[in-house]
Structure 1
Amino acid sequence: MAQLIRHSRTFILCLLLLSTIFLASTASAGITYTLKQSHAVPGETVNIQAVLFNDTDTAMTWTSPKNLVLQWRNENGQTIRSLAYLEGAAAAINVPVNNFIKLSWRAVVPTEAQGLQAINIEGESTLLALDTNPREHSLIAGTPAAVPVIDAGAASNGSRIDPPLPKNVVAATGASVEQGPSVSSTRQLASHSSSAFDNFRSAISAYEPIYFDFGTKHGNNARYQVSFKYRLFTPNDPANPDFIDNLYLGYTQTALWDLESDSYPFVDTSFKPSLFWHKDALWQSPEKNWFVGLATGVQHESNGKSDEDSRSVNYGYIQPELNYRFDGGSTLTFAPRIKGYFGGGDHNPDYRDYAGNVDWQLRYAQDNGLVLTGLYRQGHDSHYTTQIEAAWPLKRTFLNMNGYLHVQYFKGYGETLLGYNHKSDGQVRVGIALVP
């Protein structure tokens, strides 16, 4: 353990030295809004669509608001405020480098809205219009809307006026009860939650793939993996994080489960805590189709067993990541992980002979589509490992559910840490992945 701590200190010092060579990025992140309909009468529903884009050099996390407060203005400057409701549950959204996410809110046209309407989202400079007039002839709301927020579309048969929403409902959105801000103010993409749980939730994200797969070769069996990472420091400016803001704690757990034998025992489980630094894009081409990232850190892996079944391995690594972004909306990534071992377990001193010093990794990921990954290791002599995976979003199947259909093929050495020196025959497993 003392040796691991000493190596960890050396790793952090190396990170501090590397920081002097990184260049500042001028990229940005933001959100744009559009109105799907060009015309609607009072009482009808319209859809406000948004594209959250990340043009920075690091992945971004943003929490989508459940409600937007809309300001409606007619040609005479009369204002109405109403709520738009997010389609789906509000959640923290992870946006990779050079990627975007689509969101949608629905709103009812207020009963009092007549004729040309200029619509603004409070806190945004975006102008939306519910007519066909040229944009340059529309009114831009530049002053606060000093009116209450009404329940759009709730006017009774005998009244042409929508009732105001309860003050606590309006306050829950974070908006002022009596007056909205000017549209010249800006809405921050970062979510600054005050509760400890919200701070924790915004700092935790997916790391390695998360899946549960089932196979039948040599008896019914399952292989599963859970993984997450925790960002140790919250950036003051999410679009331009500091060097230390890219430092993470990671944890991955992989297990092989025997579903054929009595009592359904676990064959072996690997526990893999890690400390690492990761930036998605240290450099980007002017066209932003090429970008190069870097991950470097230390990882400990053990199976938690004692005596002759005990296995453990420690290594430091550096992982350059070469990415190419296709115009059609997919990314190809080549990320070899170069490993240096230290302080290995007494029961597996020849681990390097079977696992080698490089994990050759290739990944092809379509936006909201097919994800293909490949891993190859070459040890001494004929010791090798091959793992190929494919995932397809279940939202794009008749099931229309979250997650991915996941298929995994494994052959070679090291399917478990306990059996690092035993060769596994090729086996295909099928299951569900939460993160491919």
Structure 2
Amino acid sequence: MIKRNSSPPLCKMLLLSILIVVQLGFSQDNVDQDWIFKNSKTLSELWELDEEHHRGTFLITSYKPIYFTLAKFSTDTNKFPISEERNNVLPEPVDLNVVEAKFQLSMKTKVFYKVLWGKADVWAAYSQRAYWQIYNKELSRPFRETNYEPEIILNFPVNFDVLGFKGKMLGAAFIHESNGRSNPISRSWNRLAFHAGFDRGPLQIMLKNWIRLGGSNDDNPQISDYIGRGEAKVTYDWGRQRFYAIVRHSLKFGNKSRGSIQLNYTFPIIKNFSGHIQVFDGYGESMIDYNHRQTTFGLGVSLIN
């Protein structure tokens, strides 16, 4: 029989502490105007798309948001992960807590500047997400899942108008993502992705579509029908607050019309230290959950947006 864990006192104390800090952060809005929440970088700044913003090669800069979710609650924790390869299953369910911690690290660096007749830049990027059963004392607080995602990105700065937006970048990337585990819970895939970036004042839109490379005989052959074949990320800055949504879809209809939506809200606490609320619904909250649907609610802090 599977024991149902409840949220321990430590979790409740952390949640209460975050709420108190959030309130203090909002209450100081009119106290100190000498610092500005640095969350309104344009695509030109983030990807150094012109001479004004070029910083050189092999300098480490941020890529995806860097955050630490102190408590993330799932409506349906995946205690018995399974893939289409029915032999790849655990012998029995794992007694996981419904509340865990999560963090994401991400960075990039420009490797080559003005290649392909001076028209493009080449970047290398690395992201990592970890799901930590920090409140699960019975299992010695293990890391439930860690996802590794290195990328090689070819980026073309552009400048054109479309539907009131300014097209700023086009490009392609080779993306590998895996959880670094062995069977029966090994998950991995390779993708060739194509992207386009647009902005309009405080609003940014990144569109991405990918083709899966290989994978007909692996541990997750139908991953594209769950996690998706395309992604749209919309970011909006409102003063010192930021809203962003990430939507993925399989680009299929009928019973294969699947995907996910992730909603994020960050708000200033002190300088570049921000509060972070995240809501996720759908498939693929992590690699091990690629074919498992759930809704999660997370509360934590963000260091780099």
What TM-score, normalized by structure 2, do the two folds share? 0.67
Tell me which amino acid in the other structure corresponds to 2:199.
N
User: 1:337–1:410: structure 2 CA closer, same or farther, 3 Å change rule?
Assistant: same
User: In 1, distance between residues paired with 2:173 and 2:47?
Assistant: 23
Aligned to 1:121: none
Task: Select the residue among 279, 283, 288 that pairs with 2:159.
Answer: 283
Unaligned runs of 5+ in 1: 1-56, 61-93, 99-187, 193-198, 395-399
Structure number with the higher strand fraction is: 2
Contact 1:376-1:386 within 8 A present in 2 as well: yes
Q: Tell me the equivalent position of 1:260.
A: 135
Q: Give 1:359's aligned residue.
A: 231
Task: Summarize deviations over 1:81-130 as a string: whole Å, max 9, x none.
Answer: xxxxxxxxxxxxx69779xxxxxxxxxxxxxxxxxxxxxxxxxxxxxxxx
Higher relative contact order (CA 8 A, sep 6+): 2
Supply the distance in 1 between the matched residues of 2:193 and 2:71 (Cα, whole angstroms): 32
Where does 1:21-100 land on structure 2 (aligned, <5 Å)?
59-60=44-45
Question: Does residue 1:370 correspond to 2:241, yes or no?
Answer: yes
Paired position in structure 2 for 1:215: 71
Q: Does the alignment pair 1:348 with 2:220? A: yes
Displacement after TM superposition at 1:322 (Å): 2.1
- TM-fit CA distance, 1:350: 0.9
The residue number in structure 2 matching 1:429 is 298
Q: Distance in 2 between matches of 1:190 and 1:412?
A: 38
The within-5 A match list for 1:336-415 is 336-344=207-215, 346-366=218-238, 369-379=240-250, 381=255, 382-394=257-269, 400-415=270-285
Tell me, in whole angstroms, the C-alpha distance in 2 between the residues paired with 1:377 and 1:356. 6
2:172 to 296, 301, 317: 296
* 1:269 CA drift (Å): 0.8
**SS of equivalent to 1:310:** coil
Q: Distance in 1 between matches of 2:130 and 2:199?
A: 30
Of all paired residues, the percent bearing the same amino acid is: 26
> What secondary structure is seen at the aligned counterpart in 1 of 2:225?
helix
The 1:224–1:407 alpha-carbon spacing in structure 2 relative to 1, beyond 3 Å, is same
Kindly indicate whether residue 256 of structure 2 is the aligned counterpart of residue 271 of structure 1: no
Partners in 2 of 1:317 and 1:266 — Cα distance? 29
Change in 2 beyond 3 A, CA 1:276/1:96? closer
Determine if the alignment matches structure 1 residue 420 to structure 2 residue 286.
no
Aligned in 2, Cα 1:264/1:58: closer, same or farther, shift over 3 Å?
closer
Counterpart in 2 of 1:175? none
1:162 paired residue number: none
What is the one-letter code of the residue matched to 1:341?
Answer: R
Contact persistence 1:214–1:220 (CA under 8 A): no
The residue correspondences of 1:233-248 to structure 2 (distance < 5 A) are 233=112, 242-244=118-120, 246-248=121-123
Q: Is residue 306 of structure 1 aligned with residue 175 of structure 2?
A: no
Residue 323 (1) aligns with residue 202 (2) = no
SS of alignment partner, residue 260 of structure 2: strand
| CA 268–283 in structure 1, closer or farther in 2 if over 3 Å, else same | same
Aligned to 2:3: none
Cα pair 2:177 2:188 within 8 Å, conserved: yes
Counterpart Cα distance in 2 of 1:319 and 1:291? 11
Matched residue of 1:306: which SS?
coil
**Following TM superposition, by how much is the alpha carbon of 1:59 offset from its aligned partner in structure 2, in angstroms?**
3.5
Relative to structure 1, the CA distance from residue 96 to residue 248 in structure 2 (aligned partners, 3 Å threshold; closer, same or farther) is closer
**Alpha-carbon deviation of 1:360?**
2.2
1:205 to 39, 53, 61: 61
Q: Which amino acid aligns with 2:140?
A: S
Q: Which has the larger radius of gyration?
A: 1
Corresponding pairs, count = 231
Q: What RMSD in Å do the two structures reach over aligned CA positions?
A: 3.0
Instruction: Assess if the C-alpha contact under 8 Å between 2:43 and 2:199 holds in 1.
Output: no
After superposition, the C-alpha distances for 1:380-434 in whole angstroms (9 at most, x for unaligned) are 525321100011233xxxxx3432211111111101101211111x222111112
Deviation at 1:355, TM superposition (A): 1.6
- CA–CA separation in structure 1 for the residues paired with 2:208 and 2:223: 16
